[in-house]
Amino acid sequence: MKKYLFIPSSYSKDVRDERLRVFKIGVLGRAAAIFRIDKIIVYDDKDAKIDGRKEAAYMKDVLEYMECPQYLRKHLYPKKKEFKYVGALPPLRTKGHPKEDEYQPIREGVHIGENEVYCGLEKAIKVKGKLKKNQRLILDIRTGELVDKRSLGYWSFEVETYGSFKDALVSNIPDLLIGTSRLGLDIRSVQRKLKESISKAEKMGIVFGSPFYRGLEEIMGSEGMELSEFDHYINFIPDQGSRVVKVEEAITATLSILNLLED
């Protein structure tokens, strides 16, 4: 099953310190990797206090930098102000992020020219086929053969941005759409029904609202959408002990429960 996270562009704007903002985005990336999210979709939630498109682009830059194996970053990402504090990002440690001293025969690389692929090793590896400059690919370093990512199980996430939630949904229509809200149904009352829905789904979308007290009701209402768009509208943290649950906390709690309900 493919899993998509729909995240508002205002996700990190409740944090003023830039280094902490980057770390918060990193927490999102870590959660996505841990729970095998295939795509993070950042949508402009039309918060009047921020430039939503700019913030979505910023989140995309940071998440894609984080998703790229460390040894490839200098080849693919030029220095820019958005990357000033990327040292605050936690390591992803997915299959494509081996440690420096770790032997891994299936590695991600980048085409550096003349059909040579740099994979973080002492020598580039020669491969056959037509390749584009700076093209990212996965290969077996023992044979030099390209490897289809789909054959490797979970590898990593992609990141996309959209100008509105409606646009994001139209372009990524899941057959199971789950809205998260403290005003939703108690997860304990719909657990069996939700588990049944998950077992039948091929694509699941999980949607989160803004950290600025703008839940999905307000966001969708501003776009002329109804909560009936959701197959399930759930409170995944019933009886919360704190008055406020941060978006990154809600993401981890929600994905933990959904992970448990997957077959």
Residue 253 CB neighbours (<10 A): 17
- Give 106's pLDDT tier (boundaries 50, 70, 90): very high
Q: Is the pLDDT of residue 165 over 80?
A: yes
Q: Where is mean pLDDT largest: 73-77, 82-86, 126-130, 167-171?
A: 167-171
Residue-level pLDDT at 213 = 75
Residue-level pLDDT at 79 = 84
Q: Where is mean pLDDT largest: 99-103, 119-123, 145-149, 191-195?
A: 191-195
Residue 256 CB-half CA count within 13 A: 8
CB 50 within 8 A of CB 9: yes
Report the mean per-residue pLDDT for the chain. Answer: 94
Instruction: Express each pLDDT in 112-161 by its tens digit.
Output: 988 999 999 999 999 988 898 889 999 999 999 999 998 999 999 999 99
Pairing of strands 203-207, 39-43: unpaired
CB 245 within 8 A of CB 181: no
Q: Is the pLDDT of residue 12 over 80?
A: yes
Residue-level pLDDT at 47 = 86
- Which amino acid is present at 222? S
Residue 48 CB neighbours (<10 A): 8
Give 141's DSSP letter. Answer: T
Is 82 or 30 the better-scoring residue by pLDDT? Answer: 30
Q: Is the pLDDT of residue 16 over 80?
A: yes
Residue-level pLDDT at 37 = 98
Give 49's DSSP letter. Answer: T
Give 214's DSSP letter. Answer: -
The mean pLDDT value for 246-262 works out to: 97
User: What string of DSSP letters covers 16-42?
Assistant: -SHHHHHHHHHHHHHHHHHTT-SEEEE
Residue-level pLDDT at 151 = 93
- Give 81's pLDDT tier (boundaries 50, 70, 90): confident
Cα separation, 33 vs 17, whole angstroms: 25
Residue-level pLDDT at 82 = 82
Residue-level pLDDT at 42 = 98
**Element housing 248 (H / E):** helix 247-261
CB 74 within 8 A of CB 86: no
Instruction: Express each pLDDT in 209-253 by its tens digit.
Output: 999 878 999 999 999 999 999 999 999 999 999 999 999 999 999
CB 12 within 8 A of CB 247: no
- How far, CA to CA in Å, does 81 sit from each of 61, 62, 72, 77, 180? 11, 11, 19, 12, 33
Cα separation, 27 vs 24, whole angstroms: 5
